[in-house]
């Protein structure tokens, strides 16, 4: 498993894909936070917080994470190397986890440079340090869970096709629906007393909860359950090829 993990990670770092993902993520967030005349622009609006980063990042992840995961199994399926991989002395679950953690590491690496934004806002605050650190770290934890769930959904999407474009579109759709779809359905108030249950099925509710700086066990369990669900679906998808 460790060998496969290193192989997947080196495949990203030896090509432009990994670097492009990191640069695009930082560039888009940097533009909205410091350059473009948007509500998220920190110098223009004079608020010592990173709310803009945590409101923009999920939507950037909706496209960048499927771009990371689209080749995981789709490329293996197309080239036929998945059959060779399955004959190796490694279980299906270990193959899935190796690819999953490789994608997750890339997400973490893309988030680490944004700590410069936190340091900058911390220093620019009046008085210095005038930033809600609890909410900021809670938002980082929420964003990490969100990214990890998107990676799991992307790994599953890649396992059901041999076309990288189809994998990308499917992963982007699944992630977008999980993040905003339930919130959109909730807004129509179709289910009466069950509307709140529908809303809580979506990622955005739990992400917003963590962003307040309160680490609620229910939110953590929600994201962990989502990751496990998609990874198990991926395992079923791989096993179905043996039937």
C-beta neighbour count of 28 within 10 angstroms: 17
Give residue-wise pLDDT tens across range 126-145: 777 667 778 888 889 999 99
pTM of the full predicted structure?
Answer: 0.90
CA distance 192 to 186: 10
3-state secondary structure of 110: helix
Residues 70, 229: Cα–Cα separation, whole Å: 18
pLDDT digits (tens, 9 = 90+) for 103-128: 999 899 888 998 888 888 887 767 77
pLDDT digits (tens, 9 = 90+) for 170-218: 999 999 999 988 788 777 777 776 777 878 888 988 898 888 877 888 9
Contact 140, 49 (CB under 8 A): no
């Amino acid at each position: 498993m460790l060998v496969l993990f290193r192989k997947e990670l080196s495949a990203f770092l030896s090509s432009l894909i990994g670097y492009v993902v990191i640069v695009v993520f930082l560039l888009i967030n940097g533009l909205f936070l410091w350059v473009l005349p948007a509500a998220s622009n920190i110098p223009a609006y004079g608020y010592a917080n990173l709310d803009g980063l945590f409101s923009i990042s999920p939507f950037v992840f909706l496209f960048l994470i499927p771009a990371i995961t689209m080749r995981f199994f789709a490329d293996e399926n197309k080239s036929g190397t998945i059959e060779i991989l399955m004959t190796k002395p490694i279980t299906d679950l270990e193959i899935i986890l190796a690819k999953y953690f490789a994608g997750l590491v890339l997400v973490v690496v893309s988030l680490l440079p944004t700590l410069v934004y936190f340091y900058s806002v911390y220093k620019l605050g009046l008085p210095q340090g005038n930033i809600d650190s609890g909410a900021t770290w809670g938002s980082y934890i929420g964003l990490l869970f969100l990214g990890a769930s998107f990676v799991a959904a992307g790994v599953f999407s890649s396992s059901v096709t041999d076309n990288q474009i189809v994998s990308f579109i499917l992963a982007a759709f699944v992630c977008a629906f999980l993040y905003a779809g339930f919130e959109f359905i909730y807004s129509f108030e179709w289910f009466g007393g069950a509307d709140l249950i529908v809303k809580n099925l979506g990622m955005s509710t739990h992400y917003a909860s963590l962003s307040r700086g309160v680490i609620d066990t229910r939110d953590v369990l929600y994201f962990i359950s989502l990751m496990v669900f998609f990874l198990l679906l991926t395992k079923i998808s791989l096993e179905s090829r043996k039937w």
